[in-house]
Structure 1
């Protein structure tokens, strides 16, 4: 492998490092899995454990633990399948929407600080490369991620 591949691996590892776990008003921040799951449900609408398992390539027991914790926190609710199917589905609650939006705003504010010295062209190119990178991963996995 060439040096650039090693640098990309290291820098993508660093992207996921340290993060505050409490918000400005002492509100506990969403953990990474809750943030991603709520974001997916916001884009796709209600999903069953089976659909979530397929989308995230996670074992249903893992998703049962995560969704149970999120239900206890008031972020998700179980509803009958809107399409009349047998499996119950998970839907983001109003509290889940509020917390997701609050988390996203904190993330955007943090990114604005980091990118303050970048030109609009630099941020656009970086965003395009990130999208291409993620899209290529999704293509190889055979699981495209919905985008707003």
Structure 2
């Protein structure tokens, strides 16, 4: 059990920075230890696939270009990931009925694999729901914007 104390409301900026610098490595380590369900272990899934699978699970089927935009990567990167996951039976691709030039990507229709994907993402979703529950919609939005800003600025040095 961690001996770190939960920060109190009204932190000074340097106290908040210290708290986050101590918390983020623990959070990253916990995410890396998230077990992949047995049904998915034979697939070559990595943490980078979590976002792609989350978009498809929560937002439904979408075009490769839309996935690339949301993931903030090149369409060719998404195409490679989709091809790999399609070969493994995790995803399916279809032509867009409105525009045959577009490819629509969706989670597999196999109920066991789809259920395993849902369970892989469920623990994180449950934890975020519990963390966000006491916050107002405005506080939730501010938290998400803050993490997005941190991610963008921390990545600027790359």
Task: Using structure 2 for the length normalisation, give the TM-score.
Answer: 0.61
Taking a change above 3 Å as real, the CA distance of residues 20 and 81 of structure 1, as seen in their structure-2 partners, is same
**Are 1:134 and 2:151 counterparts?**
no
Match of 1:115 in 2: none
Match of 2:15 in 1: 3
User: Structure 2 CA distance, aligned partners of 1:54 and 1:105?
Assistant: 24
- Conservation of the 8 A alpha-carbon contact between 2:39 and 2:116: no
Root-mean-square deviation over aligned CA pairs: 3.5
Match of 1:39 in 2: 54
- Conservation of the 8 A alpha-carbon contact between 2:40 and 2:116: no
Match of 1:104 in 2: 121
Shift of 1:124: 3.2
- Give unpaired runs (5+ residues) of structure 2: 1-12, 152-158
Match of 1:19 in 2: 33
Q: Considering fraction of residues, name the structure with more strand.
A: 2
Structure 1, residues 21-46: CA drift from partner, whole Å, max 9, x if none? 454x5751853222221220122222
- Look up the SS of the partner of 2:102 in the other structure: coil
Aligned length: 130
Q: Which has the larger radius of gyration?
A: 2
- Look up the SS of the partner of 1:101 in the other structure: helix
Match of 1:89 in 2: 104
Task: Using structure 1 for the length normalisation, give the TM-score.
Answer: 0.64
- Conservation of the 8 A alpha-carbon contact between 1:35 and 1:100: no
